[in-house]
């Protein structure tokens, strides 16, 4: 076993990102910026300032500050912070005030005041997300085809998170792309981002939305069977309970999480709720990574949106610990919960504003667990610490026993990484003394089996480094610093693997920091037997052409199919490559306007968030739009098929 130190390889690896490597258009790269747009450009800042001024002037602001902010700005420990409520739809906020948990507290408000508060907090109009995205199907109640079990086992396509579409799913092959056309499109109502990877079973496609909906759509035509209302945005993949083809009694469940930290099990047939739980009572707990299903268990990653509130120096930062929770998938009974930070947060220091700080905290789990059936263990990655002191289990890969939750081993990619949103701001009282660099082990961890008989656990980090580990011990086998890294990656949401090849999307966008290394945005292939590059396709330099919030580079999870690898870019273009050579097979600009099934116009945007393109039954499904963190908004879900 050989251990390669990342620091020793960094300059050598990143030097290849300059003039020696060609772009997809055949030109050589010169310099290091690759056409990236500065996050702090004058135009961007002015637009953000305009939006902020409009929000400050909203009539609901005064009502909220007078009646609600005392609890939700940190005055009550269990009350969700304003930033969390802002992730809800206005309809969900209204339900909380009229029939839900906040009914008593909101009794003093008039109906029009409740509307103003709901629209102010959600920053959207009441009713915008309630429109139906597609016509209703006319197939009757007995539409579910039990001869079609799930084609995707989990978010990672396989239990091992390889994101490799199997041949039995009847995916597109390279020759099909010359005969591909857009079959139908929908716009997610009231949304500026689409980041839920669909589940496929029974002839249906199951898709979550920013508007707190889950839709059951006909996979071939796009018509809608039913819609389910969640409490908050559904950004996770929809995971379908497995069943045997032809089982006349099959009544599978759909599993997913929402941004408010709830996990759901609903019927795939009619969308009825079977069970629901909130596994962590921290007010900022959220679920961003999809649950993984294995052997009757649902394995749920739990994260938090607690990096934003510390911008307020009066916020008592920070008290959340990431975890993975195992449930009995059928009944919803919690079996075990394993925290990524072993100690509970305790008072640690008084910040310069006089506010109590707590620690250790953080270690959020953003990604779906990979399942190792042979060893009966799972693998997942963790984020940075949110407050001091830094721990040994942040920015880490965990191996955990699937039956008991016991930790088998951990590997840390970047030590001493404690960071939150206060760092780099004018009033940084809540910034930990470590001050970053915020290099989460963000991408889903993968278990791979190589042609030489070895197995590896492979993790991708926002630092840009790929780590390959021994699954029995967690010892390093090889490391490769594929990208320069950054706050948004580096390696962000997910890699894919086929045989001995690992496909690594790299973002490397400008993020306000100063770097001496060259940026390497694009898609890169590694021979996992050696850890060396097989091929590299750098992001084209000439696509953005000054468009607002357009960036080269790949943030979205990549997806592989036999002979192919598909990668969505932050410039809004989906590119399909030959997996063995890296040659471009097909591309589609998702930012162009298309007509939806409802006869309206929509378009995509940057392609980020945890979802990747999916191909099955000779169809290709793509979601596009990422209206967060200086990226292009969009609300398009696109379905491609072969021309008749």
For 625, the token pair is 């739009």
CA dihedral angle for residue 432, residue 437, residue 438, residue 440, rounded to 10 degrees: -130
Indicate which CATH number applies to the domain containing 101: 1.10.760
Domain count for the chain, please give it: 2
| Residue pLDDT, tens place only, 172-183 | 999 999 999 999
Q: Which residue has the tokens 């949103």?
A: 421
Which pLDDT score is estimated for 350?
Answer: 97
Q: Are 210 and 624 in contact (CB under 8 A)?
A: no
Band of residue 27 on the pLDDT scale cut at 50, 70, 90 = very low
Which pLDDT score is estimated for 86?
Answer: 66
Mean pLDDT score of the chain: 89
Query: Does 351 reside within a domain?
Result: yes
pLDDT higher than 50, residue 25: no
Q: Which of 511 and 578 is assigned the larger pLDDT?
A: 578
DSSP class of 38: P
Query: Does 71 reside within a domain?
Result: yes
Residue of 454, 483, 490, 520 lying closest to 2 (CA atoms): 454
| Residue pLDDT, tens place only, 618-640 | 999 999 999 888 899 999 999 99
Q: Are 479 and 417 in contact (CB under 8 A)?
A: no
pLDDT higher than 60, residue 46: no
Which pLDDT score is estimated for 37?
Answer: 40
Q: Are 345 and 323 in contact (CB under 8 A)?
A: no
Which pLDDT score is estimated for 35?
Answer: 33
Tell me the C-alpha distance between 529 and 12, whole Å: 20
Which pLDDT score is estimated for 487?
Answer: 87
Q: Which residues sit opposite 568 in a β-bridge?
A: 574
Q: What is the DSSP string of 86-110?
A: TTS-HHHHHHHHHTSTTTTTTTTS-
pLDDT higher than 70, residue 317: yes
Average pLDDT of span 435-443: 95
Other Cβ atoms closer than 10 A to 626: 28
When mean pLDDT is compared across 53-67, 597-611, 625-639, the lowest value belongs to: 53-67
Show which of 411, 435, 459 is a domain's final residue.
Answer: 435
The three-class DSSP label of residue 337 is: strand
| Residue pLDDT, tens place only, 330-353 | 999 999 999 999 999 999 999 999
Query: Does 253 reside within a domain?
Result: no
Band of residue 358 on the pLDDT scale cut at 50, 70, 90 = very high
On the question of a cis peptide bond just before residue 525, with omega within 30 degrees of 0, the verdict is: no
pLDDT higher than 90, residue 57: no
Q: What percent of the chain has pLDDT above 90?
A: 72
DSSP class of 364: -
Which pLDDT score is estimated for 16?
Answer: 54
Rounded to 10°, the helix 59-67/111-122 angle is: 100
Indicate which CATH number applies to the domain containing 391: 2.40.10.480
The three-class DSSP label of residue 10 is: helix
Q: Which residue has the tokens 């943030």?
A: 555
Instruction: For residue 59, give its domain range.
Output: 52-128
Q: Which of 370 and 547 is assigned the larger pLDDT?
A: 370
Distance, C-alpha 355 to centroid of its chain: 32
Q: Are 17 and 486 in contact (CB under 8 A)?
A: no
Which pLDDT score is estimated for 406?
Answer: 98
Show which of 374, 408, 435 is a domain's final residue.
Answer: 435
Other Cβ atoms closer than 10 A to 23: 17
Query: Does 318 reside within a domain?
Result: yes
Show which of 73, 106, 128 is a domain's final residue.
Answer: 128
Query: Does 579 reside within a domain?
Result: no
Q: Which of 320 and 122 is assigned the larger pLDDT?
A: 320
Which pLDDT score is estimated for 513?
Answer: 85
Rounded to 10°, the helix 90-98/111-122 angle is: 140
Tell me the C-alpha distance between 604 and 188, whole Å: 11
Q: What is the DSSP string of 26-78?
A: SPBP-SS-TTPPPTT-HHHHHHHHHHHHHHHT-HHHHHHHHHTHHHHTTTSTT
List Cα–Cα distances, 336 to 126, 323, 331, in angstroms: 39, 10, 14
pLDDT higher than 80, residue 31: no
pLDDT higher than 60, residue 11: no
Q: Which of 579 and 518 is assigned the larger pLDDT?
A: 579
| Residue pLDDT, tens place only, 216-259 | 999 999 999 999 999 999 999 999 999 999 999 999 999 999 99
Query: Does 319 reside within a domain?
Result: yes
List Cα–Cα distances, 130 to 89, 123, 570, in angstroms: 10, 15, 28
Tell me the C-alpha distance between 536 and 20, whole Å: 11
Average pLDDT of span 403-422: 97
| Residue pLDDT, tens place only, 70-90 | 667 665 555 666 666 766 678
Sign for the CA dihedral angle at 31, 32, 36, 41 comes to: negative
Query: Does 121 reside within a domain?
Result: yes
Query: Does 87 reside within a domain?
Result: yes
Beta-sheet strands, E only, within 202-277: 204-208, 213-218, 224-229, 239-240, 253-257, 263-267, 273-277
Q: Which of 105 and 143 is assigned the larger pLDDT?
A: 143
Per-residue H/E/C for 601-612? EECCCCCCCCCC
Q: Is 589 exposed, middle or buried (0-12, 13-18, 19+ CB in 10 A)?
A: middle
Band of residue 114 on the pLDDT scale cut at 50, 70, 90 = confident
Which pLDDT score is estimated for 514?
Answer: 86
Residue of 222, 122, 205 lying closest to 611 (CA atoms): 205
Tell me the C-alpha distance between 481 and 464, whole Å: 6
How is the chain split among helix, strand and coil, in percent rounded to 5?
10, 30, 60
List Cα–Cα distances, 303 to 214, 361, 533, 582, in angstroms: 21, 11, 33, 34
- The pTM for the full model equals 0.89
Q: Are 189 and 604 in contact (CB under 8 A)?
A: no
Q: Are 469 and 477 in contact (CB under 8 A)?
A: yes
């Amino acid at each position: 076993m050989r251990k390669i130190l990342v620091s020793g390889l960094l300059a050598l690896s990143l030097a290849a990102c300059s003039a020696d490597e060609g772009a997809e258009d055949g030109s050589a790269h010169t310099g290091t910026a690759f056409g990236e747009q500065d996050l702090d450009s004058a135009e961007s800042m002015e637009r953000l300032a305009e939006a902020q001024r409009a929000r400050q002037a909203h009539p609901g602001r005064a009502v909220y500050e007078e009646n609600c902010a005392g609890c939700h700005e940190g005055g009550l420990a269990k009350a969700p912070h304003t930033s969390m409520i802002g992730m809800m739809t206005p309809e969900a906020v209204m339900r909380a005030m009229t029939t839900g948990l906040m009914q008593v507290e909101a009794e003093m408000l008039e109906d029009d005041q409740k509307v103003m508060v709901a629209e102010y907090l959600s920053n959207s109009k009441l009713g915008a997300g309630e429109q139906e995205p597609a016509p209703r199907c006319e197939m009757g109640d007995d539409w579910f085809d039990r001869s079609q079990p799930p084609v995707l086992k989990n978010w990672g396509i396989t239990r091992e998170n390889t994101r490799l579409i199997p041949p039995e799913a009847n995916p597109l092959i390279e020759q099909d792309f010359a005969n591909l056309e857009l079959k139908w499109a929908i716009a997610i109502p009231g949304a500026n981002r689409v980041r839920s990877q669909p589940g496929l079973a029974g002839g249906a496609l199951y898709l979550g939305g920013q508007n707190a909906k889950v839709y059951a759509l006909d996979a071939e035509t796009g018509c809608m069977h039913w819609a389910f209302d969640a409490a908050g945005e559904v950004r996770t993949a929809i995971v379908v309970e497995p069943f045997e083809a032809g089982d006349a009694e099959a009544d599978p469940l759909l599993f997913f999480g929402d941004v408010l930290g709830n996990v759901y099990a609903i019927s795939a047939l009619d969308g009825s709720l079977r069970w629901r739980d909130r596994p962590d009572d921290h007010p900022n707990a959220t679920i961003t990574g999809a649950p993984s299903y294995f052997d009757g268990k649902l394995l749920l990653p739990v994260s938090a949106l607690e990096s934003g509130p510390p911008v307020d120096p009066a916020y008592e930062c920070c008290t959340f610990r990431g975890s993975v929770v195992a449930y009995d998938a059928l009944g919803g009974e919690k079996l075990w919960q394993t925290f990524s930070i072993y100690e509970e947060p305790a008072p640690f220091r008084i910040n310069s504003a006089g506010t109590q700080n707590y620690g250790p905290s953080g270690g959020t789990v953003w990604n779906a667990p990979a399942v190792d059936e042979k060893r009966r263990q799972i693998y997942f990655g963790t984020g940075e610490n949110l407050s001091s002191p830094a721990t040994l289990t942040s920015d880490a890969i965990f191996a955990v026993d699937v039956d008991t939750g016991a930790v088998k081993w951990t590997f840390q990619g970047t030590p001493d990484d404690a960071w939150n949103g206060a760092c780099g701001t004018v009033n940084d009282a809540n910034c930990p003394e470590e001050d970053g660099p915020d290099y989460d082990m963000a991408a889903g961890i993968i278990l791979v089996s190589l042609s030489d008989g070895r197995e590896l656990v492979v993790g991708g980090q926002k630092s840009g480094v790929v780590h390959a580990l021994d699954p029995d011990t967690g010892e390093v086998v090889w490391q490769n610093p594929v990208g320069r890294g950054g706050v948004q990656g580096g390696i962000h949401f997910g890699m894919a693997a086929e045989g001995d090849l690992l496909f690594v999307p790299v973002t490397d966008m400008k993020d306000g920091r100063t770097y001496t290394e060259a940026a390497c945005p694009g898609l890169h292939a590694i021979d996992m037997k050696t850890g060396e590059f097989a091929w590299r396709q750098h992001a084209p330099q000439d696509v953005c052409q000054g468009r607002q919030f357009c960036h080269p580079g790949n943030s979205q999870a990549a997806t592989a199919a036999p002979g192919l690898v598909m990668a969505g870019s932050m410039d809004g273009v989906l590119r399909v490559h030959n997996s063995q050579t890296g040659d471009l097979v097909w591309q589609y600009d998702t930012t162009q306007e298309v007509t939806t099934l409802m006869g309206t116009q929509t378009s995509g945007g940057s392609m980020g968030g945890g979802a990747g393109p999916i191909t099955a039954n000779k169809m290709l499904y793509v979601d596009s739009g990422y209206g967060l963190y200086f990226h292009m908004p969009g609300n398009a879900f696109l379905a491609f098929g072969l021309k008749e």
